[in-house]
């Protein structure tokens, strides 16, 4: 059974993702793409579940506090796209900010290879 979730927190200064454990009341209810509330430092922040997993990358994890909405806010495709953008360029936060600018209006598009990543470019 899945015991942990990897969450990208909505904190602009933060790069990467964090593991949280699932409290009993959320076991079996979360999917990748769900918006959740989690503790982050001394704050309560929202984040998106990136994946469910049986293992965490740290020994001591905090619990997910709440499921914000039963509907997912991101599809698996969108999560994978953001993951690839983060790997190629920057952090999850930078990728989220960049995602709205992926396809400029009125731009003919082509593909260009750069540092091992396929990038959409304007010509």
CATH number at residue 45: 3.40.1440.60
pLDDT in tens, 62-87: 999 999 999 999 999 999 888 887 77
pTM over 0.75: no
pLDDT of residue 111: 36
pLDDT at 88 over 90: no
Contact 8, 20 (CB under 8 A): no
Of residues 18 and 98, the one with the higher pLDDT is 18
Residues pairing with 49 in the sheet: 7
Element (H, E) at 88: helix 76-88
Q: For residue 32, what are the CA distances in angstroms to 75, 83, 94?
A: 8, 13, 20
> How many structural domains are present in the chain?
1
User: In terms of residue numbers, what domain contains 12?
Assistant: 4-122
With bands split at pLDDT 50, 70 and 90, how would you rate the model's confidence at 90?
Answer: low
| % of the chain exceeding 90 in pLDDT | 52
Q: 83-91 — which CB contacts under 8 Å span 24+ positions? A: 83/50, 84/117, 87/117, 88/115, 88/116, 88/117, 88/119, 90/15, 91/14, 91/15, 91/16
């Amino acid at each position: 059974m899945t015991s942990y979730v990897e969450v990208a927190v909505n904190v602009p200064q933060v790069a990467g993702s964090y593991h949280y454990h699932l409290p009993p009341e959320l076991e079996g209810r979360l999917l990748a793409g769900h918006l959740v509330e989690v503790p982050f430092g001394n704050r309560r922040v929202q984040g998106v579940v990136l994946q469910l997993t049986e293992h965490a990358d740290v020994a001591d994890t905090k619990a997910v506090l709440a499921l914000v909405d039963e509907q997912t806010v991101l599809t698996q495709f969108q999560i994978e796209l953001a993951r690839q953008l983060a790997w190629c360029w920057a952090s999850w936060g930078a990728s989220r900010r960049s995602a709205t600018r992926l396809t400029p209006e009125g731009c003919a598009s082509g593909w260009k290879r750069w540092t091992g990543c396929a990038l959409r470019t304007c010509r």
